[in-house]
Amino acid sequence: MVRAACVGLGNLGRMELALLDAMDGVTVVAGADPSPAVRQRTASEHDVATYADHDALLTAEAPDLVSIASPHTLHYEQARAALDAGVHVHLEKPMVTRLADARDLIDRATAAGLTLAVGYQRHFDPRFRELRRLIDEGRIGEPHMAACHLEQLWIGANHDGWRGDPALSGGGQLYDSGSHLLDALLWTTRSTPTAVSAEIDRRGYDVDVNAALSVRLVRRGGEGSDDTPAPDASRLTASVGVTGAGRTAPDTGEALHVWGTAGAVSFDGRRVRVTEAGGEPGASYESEPADPGFEALTRRKLANFVAAIRDEAELEIPATDALKVTALTEAAYESAERGERVEIDV
């Protein structure tokens, strides 16, 4: 039986606690959160011990794995403590808010032979998996340009909570929902960021609301690539727009388009389309994969994390992917502050 624990018991943390506890061969033994009210609610909903901090939980319970869904800037300390205690770690996005911390966690997990996952659920979303498959199969030739955006009524709902406090969030919409968009761009195109120019607007708040990024990427190869630089690695130019004051409520608006030497593939939030270069007007291929919903995607990523710990599956949300997102995000903030382009060393 795998003994699991959860750190951070807000809405997402309690969802993950319940999903883990429902898995065959997994039992949740404890949760940690600094809020007495949240601990009391968790204890009343689930038969688990609760602790005010992660250190007390790790010492008292010695779990096999921990899922961390706490404020962003707390991730590094909590994950480091778990890894040092010999515990497998699933971190909610963003992985951490400093590139050096991301590298350190990966080094610690590797040295200890532990699984370190970061919860980018689009890796399990059939819509984004379809995008990645089509690019891998060469349906658009060699990708050379991408544009993506995400819009959400985010700041109004979050500016008074911890997400609106840079000491806890590390930043605003770019580090929150925007982090999923950056991961989707890098993951579907199998690319690595190498430079960025960014413009960021806080719109009078303490954290960023709008962000516009111009990114230089290097594509490492297709399916089966070990993601290391290759002589034929190709350049990919990308434009990214993120707004936390979008007007598509109640749903988040999101789109991703990739142009290649033989055509283009696009995702408009519902449909995935391929258009051949020089072909007849309209899509040469079109599909509309179902949106599984947030809870189902959360279940899938946690199940994959557990299976990877048991050596039953390859981890599909490795920390090495999250390292790239952290590198790009931190460089974007630096670029906006300095007013110049920033090179990225991942």
What's the pLDDT at 277? 85
Listed as ranges, residues in the chain with pLDDT below 50 are 222-225, 229-231
What's the pLDDT at 260? 96
Question: pLDDT tens across 233-253, in order?
Answer: 589 999 999 999 987 766 789
What's the pLDDT at 53? 95
Q: Are 182 and 165 in contact (CB under 8 A)?
A: no
pTM of the model: 0.94
What's the pLDDT at 231? 46
What's the pLDDT at 227? 53
What's the pLDDT at 13? 97
Strand order from edge to edge, sheet including 49-51: 49-51, 26-32, 2-7, 65-68, 88-91, 116-118
Measure the CA angle with vertex 72, ends 240 and 14; round to 5°.
Answer: 110
What's the pLDDT at 234? 87
Q: Which domains does the chain have, with CATH numbers?
A: 2-119 (3.40.50.720), 122-292+313-343 (3.30.360.10)
What's the pLDDT at 224? 44
What's the pLDDT at 189? 97
What's the pLDDT at 223? 45
What's the pLDDT at 127? 97
What's the pLDDT at 40? 95
* DSSP assignment string, 178-234: HHHHHHHHHHHHTEEEEEEEEEEE-TTSSS--EEEEEEEEEE--STT--S---TT-E
Taking all residues of the chain, what is their mean pLDDT, rounded to a whole number? 94
Q: What is the CA radius of gyration of the chain?
A: 20
